[in-house]
Structures are given as C-alpha cells and as structure tokens.
Chain A
C-alpha cells in the first residue's frame, strides 16, 4: 500500500516537473511554437534548443534503461512494443502536426496552459478530448467485429 502511494507521489512530481519544464522552455506560448514552425518568416529557433536539451538528457536515460531489465525500484520497464511504420503512424502524425501548426498547442502545453487559466487552452483541451474519444469509438467500431470473430473461433 505504501509502495503504491509512493508511485502515485512520483507520478505527481514527474508531472509537476514536466509542467515546469514546459513553462520555462516557452512551449506553453503558442506564439513561440508558431514562430518556430514559421521557417520562412521571422524564425524563432528556441524550440530546437528545447528538443536538443530534452533529448540530450533523455538519450543517457534511455541508454541506461535499455541495459536494465527492471526499474530502479525493481518494477516493470514498459517499453513500446509496436515497431510498425504504417499508414496509421504517418496519417496520425500529419493530422497532429497540422493541428499543432494551426493553433500552436500540443497536448502537454495545452493542459498546463489550461491550468494557468487561459480560456482558449480550455477550448483546445475540450476539443482535443472529443477528438481522442472520437478516435477511441472509431477504433472500436473498426476492430470490434473482427475481434469478436477471432474470439469465437
């Protein structure tokens, strides 16, 4: 029980740390995001430094993680198992990028900005949740009949 609560605390603290990083980096400012994506206008390269800094630290962490079989606390290391480079990945990423460029929000910064009291971030998050639910329903519609059939065999 104590162990479980310890996990909830680390998850909360990591979320807090990540949110602080987003705010400090400028990711929660859509103007800055669009300034980075505007290669042919007045270009703001800040976001390249955000990615660079994050990947620099992340690379070391994942190099260590890949060599281990458990976490530092002896828990399960959940690495993604899907290696497919397919239409879903491409189309999904292109849709996401289009939406990202359209308003300058990606999921993390939008959540933090909403908590910071920005009304448009709240609108964005609500639409995003509808989109996520829509995907979930669509996915079930597409996959449910096939799953039912394979289970009956």
Chain B
C-alpha cells in the first residue's frame, strides 16, 4: 500500500474529527437530537409544520462556517478543494447521495459518527456498506478506467 504523504494531514484531521464529535455530543446532550445531516436536511424536503425551524437554524450555522473559517484561519494554511468530477458526474453523485441517504435514514454523520459512537449495529452495517461502495466506486473510476 502506498501512502499519499503529500496530502496526509493527521493533526488537522484529528482535531477536525474531535470538533465533529464535540458538536454531536452537544447536540444529543443539550438538544436531545442525533446530529445527522441527511436527516436534518431531508426533513425539509418538503418542510413540515412545527418541525422546520430547528433544522433551518442548524443549516444556517453550517452555512456560516466558511465565513468564520476564513476569518480565523490565515489564507496560507487553507488549501483549495480538489473537485475533479465533471458536472454531469456531480449531478449523478448528488442524486445517488440524496436517494441513498434517505433510503438508509442516514449518512456519514448520523450513521458514521453518531451511530458508531452509540454502538448501533444498524449504523455499523450502514457505515460498512457505504464505505465498501465508496471503495469499489473509486477503484472502478481510478483503476479500471471505465467511468
């Protein structure tokens, strides 16, 4: 196995992960909710009365993150995201992620972080499945040259 040392960011990723854990911790212990992005967003598709504002407040918080991040972190420490997929591929990916996460009732945050943290067998199966599909998809794209 070859490691991509040039892009490996152990400390930033570990610190970022701890922050994701902290946010999930506050959300369950203070708000009493599971922090799952696909569920929070999907619950707005379409919006239901009495179950909307908390979702909107959370998503507005997410939207504010880039502004705060750029204000706090000096520009020379920020690397531009690499988005290599073509537009049509991005559309297909978005459709798959939208349908798949709702069908499975969760994504990387709800099943991957919260579910594994509370030792849910259901979330373990979900996480193993989406990781497996991700590995296969990238193998097909990068090493079989089909897509």
How long is the Cα–Cα vector from A113 to B64 in the complex, in angstroms? 11
If over half of A's interface residues share one DSSP class (helix, strand or loop), that class is named, otherwise mixed; here it is: helix
Say yes or no: A125-B66 contact (C-beta < 8 A), given A17-B22, A97-B129, A101-B136: no
Q: Are A41 and B2 in contact (CB under 8 A)?
A: yes
Contacts of A46 in B (CB 8 A): 7-10, 12-13
If over half of B's interface residues share one DSSP class (helix, strand or loop), that class is named, otherwise mixed; here it is: helix
Task: Tell me the count of chain B residues lying within 8 A, CB to CB, of chain A.
Answer: 110
Q: Are A131 and B104 in contact (CB under 8 A)?
A: no
Say yes or no: A124-B94 contact (C-beta < 8 A), given A19-B61, A53-B17: yes
Q: Which of A53, A98, A116, A117 contacts B20 (CB 8 A)?
A: A53
Q: Which of B7, B93, B129 contacts A94 (CB 8 A)?
A: B129
Q: Which of A88, A123, A133 contacts B104 (CB 8 A)?
A: A88
Q: Are A66 and B118 in contact (CB under 8 A)?
A: yes
Contacts of A39 in B (CB 8 A): 1, 135, 138-139
Q: Which of A31, A60, A66, A85 contacts B81 (CB 8 A)?
A: A31
Residues on A close to B: CB < 8 A?
A: 7-32, 34-35, 37-47, 49-62, 64-66, 70-73, 75-80, 82-85, 88-108, 110-113, 115-118, 120-121, 123-136, 139
